[in-house]
């Protein structure tokens, strides 16, 4: 269906129109010796909910940092809408305005209010004078309040961020990202530390936002069950390599990487891996 939509737009080439993110043989290292990622290939559909799972240290966070230009690969190419991510590049820096990135630590500013934290997402739209005097236009404040309602934070706008519960903190950072009017949302294990119910609430929230806005979500998860529940595709990373790419179709799990593994083989492979 998406393909049909895209063909209407003549500026897109037919082959890769629906791929918003493409990683081609990506190798990365923090210190020249060891590679954190070893030859990752990934291609993500526009509008998809894409999940990345794997053990701690497997390279999930590194992948997200590459996608938002905070890191640059040592080898290989990444394209986000045909642009190579690099936060020092003017063209990409502009794209960053509409890439919501939520780090594992959330990155809330603790001593300011919920509303002020959310308005941060609108900073790229302010002119110099407005941002110097912290004069957000009325329309932006309205938008922030609308989003707060959407994520279930109404009435909490004047609460200081440090006073919030874990679930509420997630709602604030999601609202901050939505305030960016994002096309892409990158979220790093934002529900891993939450209880089952709250984690689902937060995931539902993101799924809902995805439906409203034409949003592509790339989310890192710890729990493969949760990932399969929400994502179209789940990439399993192990020691810097993508060992699996799976998705749910109907009642069964489909292997998109090799194309010939059965359901049981996939789960076995994953659970073997996570037991170690």
Ligand X SMILES: Nc1ncnc2c1ncn2[C@@H]1O[C@H](COP(=O)(O)OP(=O)(O)O)[C@@H](O)[C@H]1O
Least Å distance between CB 29 and ligand X?
Answer: 8
DSSP annotation of 238 reads E
Q: Which of residues 63-82 bind another protein (CB under 8 A)?
A: 68-70
DSSP annotation of 255 reads E
Among 2, 7, 30, 139, binds ligand X (CB under 6 A): 30
| Bridge partner list, 16 | none
Per partner kind, with CB cut-offs from 5 to 8 A, the member of ligand X, another protein, Mg ion, none near residue 39 is none
Binding flag, residue 97, another protein (CB under 8 A): yes
Residue given tokens 């269906």 in the structure block: 1
Beta carbons of 219 and 61 less than 8 angstroms apart: no
Binding flag, residue 73, ligand X (CB under 6 A): no
Among 28, 58, 61, 183, binds Mg ion (CB under 5 A): 61
DSSP 17-73: TTEEEEEEEEEE-SSTTS-SEEEEEEEEETT-EEEEEE-TTSSHHHHHHHHTTSS--
Q: Is 212 helix (H, G, I), strand (E, B) or coil?
A: helix
Tokens of 137: 């236009």
Binding flag, residue 175, another protein (CB under 8 A): no
Binding flag, residue 108, another protein (CB under 8 A): yes
Among 94, 142, 146, 196, binds another protein (CB under 8 A): 94
- Residue 230 CA to residue 188 CA, distance in Å, equals 15
| Bridge partner list, 43 | 22
Per partner kind, with CB cut-offs from 5 to 8 A, the member of another protein, ligand X, Mg ion, none near residue 102 is another protein
Q: Is 154 helix (H, G, I), strand (E, B) or coil?
A: coil
Binding flag, residue 60, ligand X (CB under 6 A): yes
- Count of CB atoms within 10 A of residue 251's CB? 6
Per partner kind, with CB cut-offs from 5 to 8 A, the member of Mg ion, another protein, ligand X, none near residue 57 is ligand X
Residue given tokens 């949003």 in the structure block: 215
- Residue 237 CA to residue 18 CA, distance in Å, equals 23
- The span of 10-18, 49-57, 62-70, 146-154 binding another protein (CB under 8 A) equals 62-70
Least Å distance between CB 34 and ligand X?
Answer: 7
Least Å distance between CB 239 and another protein?
Answer: 25
- Residue 209 CA to residue 151 CA, distance in Å, equals 9
Binding flag, residue 95, another protein (CB under 8 A): yes
- The span of 53-61, 73-81, 175-183, 225-233 binding ligand X (CB under 6 A) equals 53-61
Using the minimum distance from each CB to another protein, give the nearer residue, 173 or 203.
173
Q: Which residues sit at the interface with ligand X, rule CB under 6 A?
A: 30-31, 36, 54, 56-62
Residues binding Mg ion (CB under 5 A): 61
């Amino acid at each position: 269906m998406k393909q049909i939509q895209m063909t209407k737009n003549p500026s897109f080439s037919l082959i890769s129109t629906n791929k918003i993110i493409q990683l081609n043989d990506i190798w990365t290292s923090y210190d020249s010796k060891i590679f954190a990622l070893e030859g990752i290939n990934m291609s993500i559909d526009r509008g998809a909910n894409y999940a990345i799972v794997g053990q701690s240290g497997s390279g999930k966070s590194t992948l997200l940092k590459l996608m938002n230009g905070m890191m640059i690969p040592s080898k290989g190419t990444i394209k986000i809408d045909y642009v190579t991510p690099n936060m020092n590049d003017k063209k990409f820096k502009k794209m960053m305005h509409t890439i919501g990135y939520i780090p594992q630590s959330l990155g809330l500013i603790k001593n300011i209010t919920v509303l002020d934290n959310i308005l941060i997402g609108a900073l790229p739209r302010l002119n110099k004078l407005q941002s110097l005097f912290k004069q957000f236009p009325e329309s932006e404040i309205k938008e922030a309040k609308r989003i707060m309602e959407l994520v279930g934070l109404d009435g909490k706008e004047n609460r200081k961020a440090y006073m919030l519960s874990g679930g509420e903190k997630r709602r604030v950072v999601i609202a901050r990202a939505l305030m960016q009017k994002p096309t892409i949302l990158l979220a790093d294990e934002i529900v891993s530390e939450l209880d089952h119910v709250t984690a689902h609430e937060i995931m539902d929230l993101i799924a809902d936002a995805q439906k409203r806005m034409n949003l592509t979500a790339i989310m890192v998860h710890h729990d493969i069950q949760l990932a399969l529940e929400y994502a179209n595709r789940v990439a399993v990373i192990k020691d810097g390599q993508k060992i699996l790419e799976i998705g749910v179709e109907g009642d069964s799990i489909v292997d998109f990487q090799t194309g010939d593994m059965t359901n049981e083989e996939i789960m076995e492979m994953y659970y073997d891996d996570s037991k170690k």
